Amino acid sequence: MAANEIRINDSGTIFYGTINDESGVVDLSGTTTKQIILLKPDGTKIEAAASFVTDGTDGRLSYTIQSTDFSVCGTWRVQWYVVMSSGSWKTDIKTFKVYGNL
């Protein structure tokens, strides 16, 4: 297993995200929807249910990659999406690379 590289057909890699606003960490314990959105280099989107890392009060979410998620090499984008009684929000977009195999 490579220490810092994600490869096509990897599974078990865990993505973590922390939701912040201008006041700091957002208490997510009351969310009705929590998702990760992954955008492949070919423009195809994956939207999947995320989980709390603890109880949501720390603003942290996680998603464990499935073997079918990473099917394309290149630069991917990731964004988190949450829905609460007070509204819905998407985080800033981050990028990462998925590498091929021999």
Chain segment 71-87, per-residue pLDDT in tens:
999 999 999 999 999 89
Rounded Cα distance between 92 and 17, Å, is 11
Q: Is 93 part of any domain?
A: yes
The token duo for 29 is: 């314990």
Q: Is 76 part of any domain?
A: yes
Distances 1 to 14, 83, 89 between C-alpha atoms, Å: 14, 35, 34
Q: Is 80 part of any domain?
A: yes
Q: Is 54 part of any domain?
A: yes
Q: Is 1 part of any domain?
A: no
Give the number of domains in the chain: 1
**21 by DSSP, 3-state: which?**
strand
**pTM of this structure:** 0.90
pLDDT level of residue 21 (50, 70, 90 thresholds): confident
Domain span at 31: 6-99
Rounded Cα distance between 49 and 61, Å, is 10
Please measure the distance between the N-terminal and C-terminal CA atoms of the chain and give it in whole angstroms.
14
**39 by DSSP, 3-state: which?**
strand
* pLDDT computed for residue 4 by the predictor: 78
pLDDT level of residue 40 (50, 70, 90 thresholds): very high
Q: Is 56 part of any domain?
A: yes
